[in-house]
Amino acid sequence: MAHFYLCWELGAGLGHAARLRSIALPLTARGHRVTYVLRDLVQPRRLLRDNGIEVLQAPVWLHRTAGLPQVQASLAEILLAVGYLDAEALAGLCAGWRGLFRQGRPDFVIADYAPTAMLAARSMGIRSAAIGTGFQVPPAAQPLPAFYPGLPEQRLRSTEARVLDSVNRVLALHGATPLAHACELLRGDEALLCGWPQLDHYGRPGDGPWLGPSLAPAVPGEVVWPQAEGPRVFAYLKAEGAGVRDVLAALVRRGCRVLCYLPEVASGAPAPLDSPLLRFASTPVPLPAALAECELVVCHAGEATTAQSLLAGRPLLLLPMATESLLMARQVERIGAGINALAAPGPCDWDGVVGALLDTPAYRDAARAFARRHAGFDGARQAEALADRFEAMLSA
């Protein structure tokens, strides 16, 4: 049996750990050994504690990189900010990963937004595969896509060239074959896209394989809506998000019954708004049950919540908080299944946005069309298909 290292290096949130957990389950069931190497050892602890799998700390960038643009233009600029600006700094990060690999002797590295793990694997001749959303697994054999239209080509080319130079200098230190394109750093020996092309952050026409999103098992519990009449709206929001209080107030003015999971309130912080039409859940809400009963979903355009909402045929009111969620919101708007309330400059017409999503059948119809298109998707089968692919790569 093989030893798999499941690695997460960049990005926040539990989605990365949840995806690695979904992969670990079928691999361990088949008798393989699995080790997690994670950016964060604290937040995922409850999620992963039932696995009995060794968990190691990932080598991560701990410093502030000065002089870079505040608004990042591409994945290249994200990488420059986390150690890829300088080959010597990158060599130090790579040495940390190489040390972990020498100690554990993995046969295969599975990377969820872990480019330096794949760099170290390449430097040691260890097979690797990249998994994740379209955002972190860019298109093959072409320049890294720009996040926004109209950016200067020279800026995009120069930042990508800087990343590629640092990477190839590190590979040369270890006598390894250089990369021809920066995208190879984020794709490994094989790239497996956990999403669908309709929601691809870059809107690429091809690539793949597209395996559908990695969805965590539903949490236990019941769904309790405010006792009133009116449309039911499920909201999954964070206190620091722009427009959170405004959108809740608009929903209340419309007479909606809102069930909101806001982690800060669940942890004891005061609610941003008080109304008998608002219920703040004290624990995470069983999402499939909430989606089955609501008419509208409000969230920050995170990949998992967005995908599950569309699988349930529910339109979305989106408040993106980061570049990745902004690109996801753009795709939801493109298929006609939601509105990015923060897209336009200036104050948002919150009442108008809520009214449009509840009163215009086109949004609901687009979401239901998406749900019909992917009605056969099964997250458990996806995890088994991924395990099949990893085993096939090992034996190739």
Tokens of 190: 């094989």
Please check whether residue 204 lies inside any domain of the structure.
yes
Tell me: do 361 and 386 sit in the same domain: no
Please check whether residue 226 lies inside any domain of the structure.
no
Tell me: do 347 and 391 sit in the same domain: no
Tell me: do 172 and 153 sit in the same domain: yes
Tell me: do 24 and 139 sit in the same domain: yes
Tell me: do 124 and 25 sit in the same domain: yes
CA distances from residue 93 to 11, 84, 160 in whole angstroms, order as listed: 16, 10, 19
Tell me: do 204 and 330 sit in the same domain: no
Tell me: do 22 and 142 sit in the same domain: yes
Tell me: do 22 and 141 sit in the same domain: yes
Q: Compute the distance between CA of residue 144 and CA of residue 310 in angstroms, rounded to an integer.
A: 28
Please check whether residue 222 lies inside any domain of the structure.
no
Please check whether residue 102 lies inside any domain of the structure.
yes
Q: Compute the distance between CA of residue 349 and CA of residue 217 in angstroms, rounded to an integer.
A: 36
Tell me: do 19 and 98 sit in the same domain: yes
Q: Is cis: bond before 149, omega within 30 of 0?
A: no
pLDDT in tens, the chain (396 residues): 999 999 999 998 778 998 999 899 999 999 999 999 999 998 888 778 767 899 999 999 999 998 899 899 999 999 999 999 999 999 999 999 999 999 999 999 999 999 999 999 999 999 999 999 999 999 998 899 999 999 999 999 999 999 999 999 999 999 999 999 999 999 999 999 999 999 999 998 777 778 998 877 777 888 999 998 999 999 999 999 999 999 999 999 999 999 999 999 999 999 999 999 999 999 889 999 999 999 999 999 998 899 999 999 999 999 999 999 999 999 999 999 999 999 988 899 999 999 999 999 999 999 999 999 999 998 888 889 999 999 999 887
Tell me: do 178 and 286 sit in the same domain: no
Tell me if 382 sits within 8 A of 212, measured CB to CB.
yes
Tell me: do 187 and 243 sit in the same domain: no
Q: Compute the distance between CA of residue 265 and CA of residue 283 in angstroms, rounded to an integer.
A: 10
Q: Domain containing 79 — which CATH number?
A: 3.40.50.2000
Number of domains in the chain: 2
Please check whether residue 21 lies inside any domain of the structure.
yes
Tell me: do 45 and 136 sit in the same domain: yes
Give the domain extent around 271: 232-373
Q: What is the DSSP string of 75-125?
A: HHHHHIIIIIT-HHHHHHHHHHHHHHHHHH--SEEEEES-HHHHHHHHHHT
Predicted TM-score (pTM) of this structure: 0.89
Find all residues with CB under 8 Å of 147, minimum gap 6, and list them: 72, 73, 74, 323, 326, 327
